[in-house]
Amino acid sequence: MRYLSQIFQPIITIPKNAKIKNTEITCKSQKLLLECGLVRPTGTGFFSILPLARRSIDKLEVLIRKGIESVGAQNITLPTLTPSSLWEKTGRLGSEAELLTVEDRHEKQYLLAPTYEEAVADLLSDVGPISYKQLPLLLYQISNKFRDEHRPKHGLLRAREFAMMDAYGAHATLACAERAYERISEAYRRIFEELQLQVFRVSAPSGVMGGSVSHEWQLPAAPGEDRLCVCLSCHHASTSEGRCVVCGGETESLGSIEVGHTFILGTKYSDPLKAHFIPPSGPAEPLVMSCYGIGITRLLAASLEALSSDKSLRWPRHIAPYSVLVIGPKEGSKEWSAHGVDSIDRLYRRLSEVPGLTNDILVDDRHTLTIGKRLLMGDKMGFPYIIVCGRSTLDNPPKYEVYKSVPHQQSAPVLLNLEELLIMLTDKVECDNLKILENKN
């Protein structure tokens, strides 16, 4: 059993009606993650990820791994340091002003990679030329990346170190790359649908990345530094203001956050780094490359921006730190006498039998605090379900107050006995799993 009192969670308590003077806190996800003891800044643009946030990121990584592997991606790990010489060969070294660079004792120059197109092309060059029979090839990794942001702000939304999934495709032809690109785009859509986030794919300039195709994946949220124009009629989205190019309807301009980016790169990296393949006939040719990224820590913070209120976190159901919080009676009360430690332990065991909830239940064992205070704290944390063992546990059979987390607001509780509670949670988990299967199909 996991107890809340054992969680390392350095909560920041702000006195009622206090005026916040810290001008570095610029958005609600940054404020709430800090106040709830989920992250801790260690320097400008750098954060320690604490246990509850780490659980959420772990869940998000599992979801993204399943999504990208469903289209054939294979997991690898590349070194954090990339030789600067590779970036010189592709012409990107001088064009990226936000690179963090280091020099070793042999005076060799390296950079803390924000992305790995050069490293992957160099890898394929080193083991190649590969046969066309091995194509298409899709390699991915999840690791921390680095950018020397000029003005890091909004907490995890624009940090100097961030977790990211980056994938790289290798193809024999542009047509093959385009087909794979659409399959991976569909995997992206399924990932965001499972998170119940309305993320739009919009055309974007390729910039210094180069290539023929580029799309940003934008999530509408107030503090976003990008602008997204969404049609009120057909919901088509673009970054261009004015009437919708699809149906001619009016558009609404929204702030948005880029949570992913996808490119077809062509031979921009494979050609200078000699990443070649052997076709069925003729000499070796440069691989046609593509790349795909999802900012994991940014997506976590962006989802909180999109769903939370100013006072309470709200999580996508699948990545909440814990799905269920159980709040027992206050110690010494009538309810405590009837539904104390032993009863809470039995309730925990029964809830753990619900498929999908094993190891995903947290018990608030701070029984010296009132139920009301613990409920307020639980609501601020945004647990999807809060089960309160209150006055109704004196009924025969005992009933529990069940609060369901709702985006942007508090929900009214429902009273359920144990069997009704188990049915509700089982049906909810099964419904969520069914939606996942439908999205995969």
Query: Residue 439: pLDDT above 70?
Result: no
Phi, psi of 326 (to 5 degrees): -105, 125
Query: Which residue from 218, 224, 185 is spatially nearest to 199, judged by alpha carbons?
Result: 218
pLDDT at 151: 85
Write down the residue that tokens 């009606």 correspond to: 17
Give CA–CA dist 110/102, Å, rounded: 5
Burial of 236 (0-12, 13-18, 19+ CB in 10 A): middle
In the structure encoding, which two tokens stand for residue 236, read together? Answer: 């088509």
pLDDT at 437: 45
pLDDT at 16: 66
How would DSSP label each residue in 37-51? TSEEEEETTEEEEPH
Residue intervals of the chain classified under CATH 3.30.930.10 are: 12-307
Omega of the bond prior to 136 within 30 degrees of 0, cis? Answer: yes
> What crossing angle do the helices spanning 341-352 and 418-440 adopt, rounded to 10°?
30
CATH of 322-440, one of 3.40.50.300, 3.40.50.720, 3.40.50.800, 3.20.20.80: 3.40.50.800
87-111, pLDDT tens digit by residue? 999 999 987 778 999 999 999 999 9
Q: Which CATH architecture has domain 12-307?
A: 2-Layer Sandwich (3.30)
Phi, psi of 347 (to 5 degrees): -60, -45
User: Which residues fall within 8 angstroms of residue 342, CB to CB, at 6 or more apart?
Assistant: none
265-308, pLDDT tens digit by residue? 999 999 999 999 999 999 999 999 999 999 999 999 999 999 99
Q: Quick one: pLDDT band at residue 441, thresholds 50, 70, 90? A: very low
Query: Residue 15: pLDDT above 80?
Result: no
Burial of 78 (0-12, 13-18, 19+ CB in 10 A): middle
Region 310-326: what's the mean pLDDT? 96
Across the strands, what pairs with 285?
277
pLDDT at 434: 46
Q: Please, are residues 407 and 354 in contact by the beta-carbon 8 Å criterion?
A: no
More confident residue, 341 or 149: 341
Region 157-180: what's the mean pLDDT? 97
Give, in order, the Cα–Cα distances in Å from 178 to each of 21, 129, 307.
50, 22, 33
Average pLDDT of the chain is: 92
Q: Quick one: pLDDT band at residue 68, thresholds 50, 70, 90? A: very high
pLDDT at 119: 98
With the CA atoms of 118, 294, 220 and 36 taken in that order, what torsion angle do they form, in degrees rounded to the nearest 10?
-120
The number of angstroms, rounded, from the C-alpha of 217 to the middle of its chain's C-alpha atoms is 13
Least confident of 97-106, 362-371, 415-424: 97-106
Residue intervals of the chain classified under CATH 3.40.50.800 are: 322-440
